[in-house]
């Protein structure tokens, strides 16, 4: 794989190959929050793991991490980045919850949120294009996420104001969950949201 650069988070190091989403403001928004949460012994699912950024942070903080991605190159990258930091995640290829059969204390999803027509043959594009309105991938995630969440657990989402916020919040409410906006961050022409969802 062609390496395009490195990303550092505190003392953790991540290599980013060509075609894999590079951790940036949205990733760091979630990463900084997770760094301050007690994750010791928690069972965690990192959906759309990419470089493994969020899952590896969770493992460093004591979580037992499963990580999924639709892109096989991302699975290889996430495992290599975990090894690079002397950490461990169980990463496997899956389209959202297609091959997920367990329940978790925490489910993470830094969703692709740019609007555009998705090319199903283009794995790289899928890491940032969320569908024609930008929120279709996240809506599909929310359709099944609650079935894989333990009663006392939570879902942590990162998405953009360009993704149709009302439709996303309506979907959360429609799945008998409540949500709390932990943080908002203005970046260029958009606002990033870090949102925590709970079962009733």
| Predicted confidence band of residue 19 (pLDDT cuts 50, 70, 90) | confident
Pairing of strands 177-187, 190-199: antiparallel
| Predicted confidence band of residue 2 (pLDDT cuts 50, 70, 90) | low
Q: Yes or no: say if 42 and 63 are a contact pair by the CB < 8 Å rule.
A: yes
Query: Is the pLDDT score of 116 beyond 70?
Result: no
* Dist CA 127 CA 111 (whole Å): 8
What pTM was computed for the model? 0.90
Average pLDDT rounded to a whole number, residues 167-178: 93
Average pLDDT rounded to a whole number, residues 150-177: 91
Comparing CA positions, the residue from 194, 198, 140, 129 lying closest to residue 167 is 140
Query: In 107-123, which positions are buried (b, 16+ CB within 10 angstroms) versus exposed (e)?
Result: bbbbbbbebeeeeeeeb
Q: Yes or no: say if 191 and 184 are a contact pair by the CB < 8 Å rule.
A: yes
**Which fold is adopted by the domain 3-199?**
Rossmann fold (3.40.50)
**Average pLDDT over all residues of the chain:** 89
Q: Yes or no: say if 85 and 49 are a contact pair by the CB < 8 Å rule.
A: no
| Predicted confidence band of residue 160 (pLDDT cuts 50, 70, 90) | confident
Domain boundaries, the chain: 3-199
Average pLDDT rounded to a whole number, residues 29-52: 97
Kindly report, residue by residue over 33-43, the tens digit of the pLDDT.
999 999 999 99
φ/ψ (deg, to 5) at 7: -125, 140
* pLDDT value of residue 129: 47
Query: Is the pLDDT score of 3 beyond 70?
Result: no
Two structure tokens written together for 142: 């929310």
Kindly report, residue by residue over 88-110, the tens digit of the pLDDT.
999 999 999 999 999 999 999 99
Tell me, letter by letter, the H, E, C secondary structure of the chain.
CCEEEEEEECCEEEEEECCCCCCCHHHHHHHHHHHCCCCCCCEEEEECCCCCHHHHHHHHCCCEEEEEECCHHHHHHHHHHHHHCCCCCEEEECCCCCCCCCCEEEEEEECCCEECCCCCCCHHHHCCEEECCCCHHHHHHHHHHHHHEEEEEEEEEEEEHHHCHHHHHHHHHHCCEEEEEEEEEEECCEEEEEEEEEEC
Q: Yes or no: say if 65 and 53 are a contact pair by the CB < 8 Å rule.
A: no
Two structure tokens written together for 175: 């799945």
| Predicted confidence band of residue 148 (pLDDT cuts 50, 70, 90) | very high
* pLDDT value of residue 165: 87
| Predicted confidence band of residue 46 (pLDDT cuts 50, 70, 90) | very high
């Amino acid at each position: 794989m062609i390496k395009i650069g490195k990303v550092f988070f505190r003392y953790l190091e991540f290599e980013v190959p060509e075609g894999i989403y590079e951790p940036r403001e949205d990733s760091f928004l979630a990463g900084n929050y997770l760094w301050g949460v007690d994750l010791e012994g928690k069972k965690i699912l990192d959906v759309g793991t990419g470089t493994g950024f969020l899952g590896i942070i969770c493992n460093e903080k004591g979580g037992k991490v499963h990580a999924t991605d639709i892109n096989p190159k991302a699975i290889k990258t996430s495992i290599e980045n975990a090894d690079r930091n002397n950490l461990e995640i169980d990463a496997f290829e899956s389209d959202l919850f297609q091959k997920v059969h367990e329940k978790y204390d925490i489910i993470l999803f830094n969703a692709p949120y740019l609007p555009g027509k998705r090319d199903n043959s283009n794995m790289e594009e899928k890491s940032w294009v969320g569908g024609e309105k930008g929120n279709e991938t996240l809506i599909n995630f929310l359709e099944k996420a609650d079935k894989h969440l333990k009663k006392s657990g939570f879902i942590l989402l990162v998405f953009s104001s360009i993704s149709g916020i009302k439709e996303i919040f309506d979907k959360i409410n429609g799945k008998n969950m409540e949500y709390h906006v932990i943080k908002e961050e203005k970046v260029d022409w958009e606002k990033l949201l870090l949102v925590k969802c709970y079962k009733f």
